[in-house]
Chain A
Amino acid sequence: MKKFLIPLVLFFGLVAFLAVGLKRDPREIPSPLVGKPAPAFSLPTLQGDKPFSPADFKGQVWLFNVWATWCVACREEHPLLVEFSKTQSVPIVGLSYKEIQAADQANGPLSDEAKLGLARERSLRFLQRQGDPYKLSVMDLDGRVGIDYGVYGVPETYLIDREGVIRYKQVGPVTPEILENKLLPLIRSLEKS
């Protein structure tokens, strides 16, 4: 009469899955872009000179970091990024994501130039105060480039290789452990190739 054991067996299978599930974060979404070419774009930069596009950095390994002055979690990783930029040769390109928020337009809509101007001003002030880890920063005011990159929260960081292919995506702030255990080894192996 082994059939009476079936419920028990099925149940323990269920418990096993639930136990593994406890260690997972159901809200973290892996990126389908890993292993694919970084989506193209051409955006104005923080500094204001010519626009930047990912093709400009072909031939080198670089980091693409999504940030904004209103992002509280970004402050956690900012010092680490500044430190990184000083000691490492891998450039960090910032994506200033949706810097202009609803509150900025509470008294009436702003023109595109006004938005860009305000975003630049605020971001520059922030970087002056907190340190600037970025080789350059591009301004994604309406978030469209963010959507192309599958950005759903800030901060996020992409590691892009010499061919312009995304090799790794970090959702949430970069921590020292992630830097040590995931990013740096990967950077080293990519730089060798």
Chain B
Amino acid sequence: MIPELGQFSLVLAAVLSLLLGILPLWGTYRYNTTLQALARPLALLQFILVALSFACLAYAFLNNDFSVKYVAAHSNSLLPKPYQFAAVWGGHEGSLLLWMLMLTGWAAAVALFSQSLPLVMVARVLGVLGLVTVGFMLFILFTSNPFDRLFPVPADGRDLNPLLQDPGLVIHPPMLYMGYVGMSVAFAFAIAALLSGRLDAAWARWSRPWTVIAWAFLTFGIGLGSWWAYYELGWGGWWFWDPVENASLMPWLVGTALIHSLMVTEKRGSFKAWTVLLAIAAFSLSLLGTFLVRSGVLTSVHAFATDPTRGVFILIFLAIVVGASLTLFAWRAPQVTLGGSMGLISRESFMLLNSVLLVVATGAVLLGTLYPLIIDALNLGKLSVGPPYFNLVFAPLMVPLLFILVPGTIARWREANIAEMLMELRWVAAASVVLAIGLPFLWDSWSIGSALGIFLGMWVALGSLHNMVERLRKPGRIGGSFWGQHLAHFGLAVVVLGITGVKSYEVERDVRMSLGDTVSIAPYSFRLVDMVDVNGPNYKATQAHVEVFKNDKLIDVLYPEKRRYFSSAMPMTEAAIRSSFLGDLYVSLGDPIAGDKPSWSMRFYHKPFVPWLWAGVLLMVSGGVIAALDRRYRRRNLDAQLKTVGEAMSNAA
């Protein structure tokens, strides 16, 4: 009954999204305000219906309703309740429903928080979102229905993939989807602006907070994914350039370019066409990501099990949405006005360079991800493109980006003075160079890579601090936008330092341990003191007790496990991690080794600065949120705001 209610709710929501996609837009074409006014209630109602549908699916999971095929495939009566809930998005169909929840959720949010926007704009934005929603609805209802029944009803489900039975699953996909899907709002604003024929600073002002929030969620989602891989997979890796990972990185890179470009459009009315194109690109990359993950064209550990029919459907949908947007762009963009003038060296040109570098980086990632497919499609063979390629190509692109970040934040609008900038940054530059050359010696190993990494990290960090200190010296309120951006830049610097630190200084020991054995990674040492059997709710595990010493003083006991879930043949490693400000101690339990004394293969890692990766991501996310919540976006009287197009003081955000 409940599953049928869920399905019915979804069908109703699909009808509403069709109405939302057609009526308000028709209303804008016909200057009919009644039709336009339908946008908000339709958006809210479609969200409620999708939420209801989602609740029905969750109900089916929490009540072990294995007559629903999707529940039987991804759940089990022994699965702990929180994972039974998270299993809703553990597979293709349910994760699509989560997409729908997010998409209609964002539309509802726009409906609620757009009181200061003109109705005709709201109608267009929500209309576009409605059209996108219809496509997904049709996809779910016709090819990926989570409410399909299964007869005969199995006694129990197949259980959730053990890799997913982890707090990471509860939070990573929802956050990631919030970001992915959030890009649809910037997209909708861009399309709405193109449709209206008016691309001006106002559109950029309205778009910006929505884009920044979506970006913040995406940053958080990607960071969570990395963190999850790090502690779950047992070998301490956190980025593999897997196609699905790349699929989330690309919208993020373009989203970052978009945020910076929006800033220029808002301030000086320039780059309008470019900003619109970036907005279209960001969401297109989200859709492309959906295609790559669910169509089976690329192999990935993250890929959902799918069939080619679904792939065809998504591809057609992608072709229509992006094709129509780019056609509209080609038609309307030439009519866009130019905006203010800018010098060869100016804040605007720095922002453009930022865009260029990020877009080239996105292009590189896209090229690497799709190259095997392109070569195969041309019948030229089978290739693999993996981490060695991406690391070699991506890192050099990030170097100039990080470098120009600092001058970019102090350059004057319109015309910047290089001599002045050099003067202002001399201490930041000097300190960064000194630290870059000197710090590696503290760890007894100097390499050009680590020096460069430290230089860039310190450059951005000190540059951000410099900006904050200088601004504090001046009078006047400082808005969230200012703090947000410099906090986010600072967070980026922390991430860079973290990556440099862990790549330069991590140590691994792969050893066989018997009870009483020790292994050391100076100044730490580890002793295996016990090995016990542990029973979990749906698994059995071997658990090691490892004492951790620093300079021969006991500081901790770690409990790495090897779990065997009832439902899966593959044993799972649960690594034990001790985190501190300067780094992680990471212990992973392997297989027992045959021999006279019982012994096990174990891996011990010292990963310095890894927590900086996660801390940096959190700082970036916070920066984004603070910037988006800047009060000036929420002020009712936007007209006065709109008139401030023009010369800005170099520090005004």
Please tell me if B526 contacts chain A, counting CB pairs below 8 Å: no
Assembly CA distance A14 to B284 (angstroms): 12
Q: Which of B277, B326, B374 contacts A17 (CB 8 A)?
A: B374
- Given A18-B315, A24-B377; A7-B277 close (CB under 8 Å): yes
Residue of B nearest to A28 (CB): B382
Assess the A11–B326 pair: CB atoms within 8 A: yes
SS of A interface (majority): helix
Q: Which of B203-248 contact A (CB under 8 A)?
A: none
SS of B interface (majority): helix
Assess the A18–B373 pair: CB atoms within 8 A: yes
Q: How many residues of B contact A (CB 8 A)?
A: 34
Please tell me if B594 contacts chain A, counting CB pairs below 8 Å: yes
Mark interface residues in B358-379 (1 if CB within 8 Å of A CB, else 0): 0000000000001011101100
Q: Which of A4, A15, A17, A24 contacts B319 (CB 8 A)?
A: A15
Q: Which of A4, A19, A26 contacts B298 (CB 8 A)?
A: A26
Q: Which of A55-111 contact B (CB under 8 A)?
A: 108-109
Assembly CA distance A21 to B315 (angstroms): 11
Tell which of B14-22, B328-336, B632-640 binds the partner.
Answer: B328-336
Q: Which of B319, B326, B372 contacts A26 (CB 8 A)?
A: B372
Assess the B273–A18 pair: CB atoms within 8 A: no
Assembly CA distance A60 to B372 (angstroms): 37
- Given A17-B370, A17-B374, A24-B373; A11-B323 close (CB under 8 Å): yes
Please tell me if B295 contacts chain A, counting CB pairs below 8 Å: yes
Assess the B311–A22 pair: CB atoms within 8 A: yes
Assess the A24–B297 pair: CB atoms within 8 A: yes
Assembly CA distance A22 to B373 (angstroms): 9
Mark interface residues in A1-34 (1 if CB within 8 Å of B CB, else 0): 1001101100110110111111110111110000
Assembly CA distance A108 to B596 (angstroms): 12
Residue of A nearest to B335 (CB): A1
- Chain B contacts for A30, CB-based, 8 A: 381-382
- Chain B contacts for A21, CB-based, 8 A: 297, 373, 376-377
Give min CB distance, B372 to chain A, whole Å.
Answer: 7
Q: How many residues of A contact B (CB 8 A)?
A: 24
- Chain B contacts for A20, CB-based, 8 A: 377
Assess the A4–B333 pair: CB atoms within 8 A: yes
Assess the A26–B322 pair: CB atoms within 8 A: no
Q: Which of A12, A14, A19, A26 contacts B299 (CB 8 A)?
A: A26
Q: Which of B297, B327, B373, B374 contacts A8 (CB 8 A)?
A: B327
Assess the B311–A8 pair: CB atoms within 8 A: no
- Chain B contacts for A23, CB-based, 8 A: 308
Assess the B291–A18 pair: CB atoms within 8 A: yes
Assembly CA distance A139 to B273 (angstroms): 67
Assembly CA distance A28 to B373 (angstroms): 12
Number of A-B contacts (CB under 8 A): 71
Assess the A26–B373 pair: CB atoms within 8 A: yes
Please tell me if B318 contacts chain A, counting CB pairs below 8 Å: yes
Mark interface residues in A26-59 (1 if CB within 8 Å of B CB, else 0): 1111100000000000000000000000000000
Assembly CA distance A20 to B376 (angstroms): 9
Assembly CA distance A15 to B319 (angstroms): 7
Assess the B299–A27 pair: CB atoms within 8 A: yes
- Chain A contacts for B382, CB-based, 8 A: 28-30
Please tell me if B554 contacts chain A, counting CB pairs below 8 Å: no
Assess the A22–B326 pair: CB atoms within 8 A: no
Assess the B326–A8 pair: CB atoms within 8 A: yes
Give min CB distance, B497 to chain A, whole Å.
Answer: 36
- Chain A contacts for B327, CB-based, 8 A: 8
Assembly CA distance A28 to B374 (angstroms): 15
Q: Which of A8, A17, A22, A109 contacts B312 (CB 8 A)?
A: A22
Assembly CA distance A12 to B320 (angstroms): 10
Assembly CA distance A24 to B374 (angstroms): 11
Give min CB distance, B601 to chain A, whole Å.
Answer: 15
Assess the A4–B377 pair: CB atoms within 8 A: no
Assembly CA distance A27 to B373 (angstroms): 11
Give min CB distance, A179 to chain B, whole Å.
Answer: 23
Assembly CA distance A12 to B291 (angstroms): 15
- Chain A contacts for B377, CB-based, 8 A: 17, 20-21, 24
Assess the A8–B319 pair: CB atoms within 8 A: no
- Chain B contacts for A108, CB-based, 8 A: 594
Assess the B308–A5 pair: CB atoms within 8 A: no
Residue of A nearest to B295 (CB): A22
- Chain A contacts for B308, CB-based, 8 A: 22-23
Q: Which of B251-302 contact A (CB under 8 A)?
A: 273, 277, 280-281, 284, 291, 295-299
Mark interface residues in B311-355 (1 if CB within 8 Å of A CB, else 0): 110010011001100110110011000000000000000000000
Q: Which of B280, B315, B322, B374 contacts A19 (CB 8 A)?
A: B315
Assembly CA distance A23 to B312 (angstroms): 10
- Chain A contacts for B373, CB-based, 8 A: 17-18, 21, 24, 26
- Chain A contacts for B297, CB-based, 8 A: 18, 21-22, 24, 26
Assess the A5–B298 pair: CB atoms within 8 A: no
Give min CB distance, A108 to chain B, whole Å.
Answer: 7
A–B complex contacts, Cβ < 8 Å, 30 sampled: A1-B334, A4-B273, A4-B329, A4-B330, A4-B333, A4-B334, A5-B330, A7-B281, A7-B330, A8-B323, A8-B326, A11-B284, A12-B319, A14-B370, A15-B318, A15-B323, A17-B370, A17-B373, A18-B315, A18-B373, A19-B315, A21-B297, A22-B295, A24-B373, A24-B376, A26-B297, A26-B376, A27-B299, A28-B382, A30-B382
- Residues of chain A at the chain B interface (Cβ within 8 Å): 1, 4-5, 7-8, 11-12, 14-15, 17-24, 26-30, 108-109
- Residues of chain B at the chain A interface (Cβ within 8 Å): 273, 277, 280-281, 284, 291, 295-299, 308, 311-312, 315, 318-319, 322-323, 326-327, 329-330, 333-334, 370, 372-374, 376-377, 381-382, 594
For the complex of A and B, 4 pairs with smallest distance between CB atoms? A20-B377, A1-B334, A8-B326, A21-B297
